[in-house]
Structure 1
């Protein structure tokens, strides 16, 4: 069994890793969403929280994780099996394919990150994952190219299932603007360093960036989502604050600055207002 540092080293050096979940169950938790796209082929009951949506799954599914979108996974089955492949943008596309990835119905914000898979499809996809594992362990000089082709094959087989039919197309100007706002909001995260704080923190900031009047942005977002622009921003900042509190050793002052608060007191008050508890309580 390889250690956490060995897994991370392999990812940093090669830009990918593939493994069988039933053998390396804890490995799915080793990788930060900040760096890697993820494709999981799994069989079992689970609940997936993806951006602002949740999916309850049973049977075999394909899941597509985008490093620019927050997600979490609750395994509900006592028995759970499958495969996971993780890859960086530069590994899959040295020639700037990443923009296409982010616009794909499989990875796009508002797209379809979960596909139900039949038994016949599962067997075929199993064989692809098994081939990737074999190549990863081989000495073949061009194994990275071959694995890249296998990943693209999975993506194309998934697109043939027409995931775009399951996702809402923009029907008017308000929906188009709201969609762009939500994408821009997600692109501000994750916050990777206290030295690189959020640049857009208010509805006015987003309106200026999108070259629209703030009233028009607010009206559009409220019409489409039922929530205000500020509410979406606050929800996302709280989500990021919780992740930073739970997964880093940054102090409260650093977290406050990183999330765009001038003083730690402002951050403490904001966090307690939205969660009912003080930030430090998450580290107790």
Structure 2
């Protein structure tokens, strides 16, 4: 295994642009990154990064692998994938060509427009376990490229007056991408889709992900915290979740905890002790026992594995 790297953290679009050595956009809350790049040497590695931004990427041509959280996937082209705020991502490009569009937008931009806020509140694919690259069909790529180019025209002529137009364009693109993801999940996982479950379950999952986005320690919240926030009895909520999803509240919280632990083990050089404290354990031994119980191996064994 190669040397582990600390995750590079970006708080805003300007920090991303500075890191990439590109000119910052006129709009501080939204950035379109259009790449048509050819370089000499393949195997270009991008260090693990995490940001406070939403990201939507459309890959048209190229090759390589992408690592999101603890899993690694060979990139297929064309493909689309979404990255929620505070999700660790890295990649290695193995071809000498890359053609892609990327739209990055802030949580502040979403809050500014109620139609975006309402859409993303019920948008399951910005959740950590569903933000996976999905291969798209030729007819889908044509439509998406047209939408990205339409967005790009207004983006290049940004002003406060056309800011709502950018928000509307983004809304349409998100709806189009959601249709592609819906189709994929219906074909692959139709028996377990969260968005087919009742409103209480969906409300809990949305709340859990909002807490995760806000403080990165959603799993430190008690069961009663979520029940109180949803104005229901804790036992009732847990029974409902168990019936609809097969998991209790604690199991859902633990899933996020394990997800973050795996990400830190695979993408950073932090010690097991450092990771245990980041995940709010008082003692590293408690973290090791928790991880082994849920994953079936120790954190050290998981880090050294090829899983």
Report the TM-score range of the alignment, normalised by the length of the smaller protein. Answer: 0.5 to 0.7
CA contact (8 A) 1:36 1:86 kept: yes
Deviation at 1:62, TM superposition (A): 3.9
When structure 1 is superposed on structure 2, of 82-91 and 138-147 the one drifting more is: 138-147
1:155 correspondence with 2:174 = yes
- Unaligned 5+ residue runs, structure 2? 1-16
Deviation at 1:29, TM superposition (A): 6.7
1:230 correspondence with 2:250 = yes
Task: Show CA shifts across 1:166-222 (max 9, x none).
Answer: 5858777xx3332222222222225757xxx55744434433433333332222222
Task: Show CA shifts across 1:16-62 (max 9, x none).
Answer: 33224552997987752x522222223479999999x9999966444
Instruction: Give the TM-score taking structure 1 as reference length.
Output: 0.64
The counterpart of 2:208, out of the listed 185, 196, 199, is: 185
1:280–1:220 Cα change, 3 Å: same
The counterpart of 2:58, out of the listed 33, 41, 66, is: 41
Q: Secondary structure at the match of 1:227?
A: coil
1:280–1:209 Cα change, 3 Å: farther
CA distance in 2: counterparts of 1:161 and 1:251, whole angstroms:
39
Task: Show CA shifts across 1:260-279 (max 9, x none).
Answer: 43444433432343342246
1:277–1:156 Cα change, 3 Å: closer
1:89 aligned residue = 107
1:125 aligned residue = 144
1:111–1:272 Cα change, 3 Å: closer
Count of residue pairs brought into register by the alignment: 273
Q: Secondary structure at the match of 1:274?
A: helix
1:177–1:77 Cα change, 3 Å: farther
When structure 1 is superposed on structure 2, of 56-65 and 94-103 the one drifting more is: 56-65
CA contact (8 A) 2:257 2:279 kept: yes
- Unaligned 5+ residue runs, structure 1? none
User: Which protein has greater RCO, CA pairs closer than 8 Å, 6+ apart?
Assistant: 2
CA distance in 2: counterparts of 1:192 and 1:169, whole angstroms:
23
CA contact (8 A) 2:241 2:247 kept: yes
1:266 aligned residue = 286
CA contact (8 A) 1:135 1:143 kept: no
1:182–1:279 Cα change, 3 Å: farther
When structure 1 is superposed on structure 2, of 99-108 and 242-251 the one drifting more is: 242-251
CA distance in 2: counterparts of 1:282 and 1:265, whole angstroms:
16
**CA-atom RMSD in angstroms:** 5.2
When structure 1 is superposed on structure 2, of 153-162 and 262-271 the one drifting more is: 153-162
What does 1:97-112 correspond to in 2, within 5 Å? 97-105=115-123, 107=125
CA contact (8 A) 2:79 2:134 kept: yes
Deviation at 1:11, TM superposition (A): 7.3
